Amino acid sequence: MYLTIKPALKGIMDRMEARGADNRDKVLFSSATDMDANRVETKLPEFKDRIVRRPRQLWDVSLLVMETRPRIRMLGVGLVQRDTQKFQYRNELTCGQEIDAK
Protein backbone atom coordinates (compact mmCIF):
# COMPACT_ATOMS: atom_id res chain seq x y z
CA MET A 1 0.00 0.00 0.00
CA TYR A 2 0.93 3.69 -0.24
CA LEU A 3 3.01 3.20 -3.38
CA THR A 4 2.40 6.71 -4.75
CA ILE A 5 3.65 8.75 -1.78
CA LYS A 6 7.15 9.73 -0.70
CA PRO A 7 9.13 6.74 0.61
CA ALA A 8 9.73 8.50 3.96
CA LEU A 9 5.98 9.00 4.46
CA LYS A 10 5.34 5.38 3.46
CA GLY A 11 7.87 4.22 6.07
CA ILE A 12 6.12 6.21 8.78
CA MET A 13 2.71 4.86 7.75
CA ASP A 14 4.05 1.31 7.83
CA ARG A 15 5.36 1.85 11.39
CA MET A 16 2.13 3.52 12.56
CA GLU A 17 0.13 0.57 11.20
CA ALA A 18 2.34 -2.19 12.58
CA ARG A 19 0.05 -4.81 14.11
CA GLY A 20 2.44 -6.33 16.66
CA ALA A 21 4.35 -9.58 16.75
CA ASP A 22 1.22 -11.75 16.89
CA ASN A 23 -0.63 -9.62 14.25
CA ARG A 24 -3.64 -9.26 16.55
CA ASP A 25 -3.59 -5.49 17.16
CA LYS A 26 -6.36 -3.51 15.47
CA VAL A 27 -5.32 -0.23 13.80
CA LEU A 28 -7.99 2.38 14.57
CA PHE A 29 -6.31 5.44 13.07
CA SER A 30 -3.08 6.32 11.31
CA SER A 31 -1.73 9.42 9.63
CA ALA A 32 1.51 10.78 8.20
CA THR A 33 2.24 14.40 7.33
CA ASP A 34 4.96 16.07 5.30
CA MET A 35 5.67 18.95 7.67
CA ASP A 36 7.30 21.06 4.95
CA ALA A 37 4.01 20.99 3.03
CA ASN A 38 2.08 21.73 6.25
CA ARG A 39 3.69 25.15 6.78
CA VAL A 40 1.67 28.35 6.55
CA GLU A 41 3.46 31.50 5.44
CA THR A 42 2.35 34.57 7.39
CA LYS A 43 3.53 38.12 7.92
CA LEU A 44 1.54 38.64 11.13
CA PRO A 45 3.74 40.19 13.84
CA GLU A 46 2.58 37.79 16.59
CA PHE A 47 4.11 34.91 14.61
CA LYS A 48 7.45 36.63 13.95
CA ASP A 49 10.36 34.16 14.25
CA ARG A 50 7.99 31.17 14.53
CA ILE A 51 7.02 28.38 12.16
CA VAL A 52 3.23 28.21 11.76
CA ARG A 53 1.55 24.99 10.67
CA ARG A 54 -2.02 23.91 9.89
CA PRO A 55 -3.53 21.91 12.76
CA ARG A 56 -4.35 18.26 12.13
CA GLN A 57 -7.54 16.37 12.94
CA LEU A 58 -6.01 14.46 15.86
CA TRP A 59 -3.78 15.95 18.53
CA ASP A 60 -0.10 15.34 18.02
CA VAL A 61 3.12 16.34 19.71
CA SER A 62 4.01 18.88 17.00
CA LEU A 63 1.56 21.34 18.57
CA LEU A 64 3.87 21.54 21.61
CA VAL A 65 7.05 22.22 19.62
CA MET A 66 7.91 25.89 19.16
CA GLU A 67 10.07 26.17 16.04
CA THR A 68 11.98 29.26 14.98
CA ARG A 69 13.28 27.40 11.94
CA PRO A 70 11.79 24.35 10.19
CA ARG A 71 13.30 21.29 11.88
CA ILE A 72 10.51 18.69 11.69
CA ARG A 73 10.30 17.01 8.28
CA MET A 74 7.76 14.19 8.75
CA LEU A 75 5.17 13.38 11.40
CA GLY A 76 3.32 10.12 12.01
CA VAL A 77 0.50 9.31 14.41
CA GLY A 78 -1.42 6.12 15.03
CA LEU A 79 -3.92 4.63 17.45
CA VAL A 80 -3.93 0.86 17.90
CA GLN A 81 -6.26 -1.29 20.00
CA ARG A 82 -4.16 -3.94 21.77
CA ASP A 83 -7.14 -5.74 23.34
CA THR A 84 -10.61 -4.76 24.60
CA GLN A 85 -9.32 -2.28 27.21
CA LYS A 86 -5.76 -1.52 26.10
CA PHE A 87 -4.79 1.03 23.47
CA GLN A 88 -1.45 2.31 22.19
CA TYR A 89 -0.97 5.86 20.90
CA ARG A 90 2.00 6.22 18.55
CA ASN A 91 3.71 9.45 17.57
CA GLU A 92 6.85 9.77 15.46
CA LEU A 93 8.80 12.85 14.37
CA THR A 94 11.51 12.80 11.71
CA CYS A 95 13.91 15.74 11.71
CA GLY A 96 16.12 17.02 8.91
CA GLN A 97 19.31 16.78 10.97
CA GLU A 98 20.51 14.61 13.86
CA ILE A 99 21.10 17.67 16.05
CA ASP A 100 17.45 18.72 15.60
CA ALA A 101 16.24 15.30 16.72
CA LYS A 102 18.28 15.53 19.93
Distance (Å, rounded) from C-alpha 5 to C-alpha 9? 7
Q: Give the chain's mean pLDDT.
A: 85
DSSP state of 46: G
pLDDT of 60 reads 65
State which residues form the domain around 37. 7-97
pLDDT of 59 > 70? The answer is no
Give the pLDDT confidence of 25-50 residue by residue, as tens digits.
Answer: 899 988 888 888 888 889 899 988 88
Number of domains in the chain: 1
pTM score > 0.75 for this model?
no
Q: Is residue 56 part of a domain?
A: yes
Cβ atoms within 10 Å of 12's Cβ, excluding its own: 27
Q: Is residue 1 part of a domain?
A: no
Contacts of residues 17-26 at CB distance under 8 Å and 24 or more positions apart, as own/partner, are 17/78, 19/80, 20/80, 20/82, 25/80, 25/81, 25/82, 25/88, 26/80, 26/81
pLDDT of 80 reads 92
pLDDT of 44 reads 92
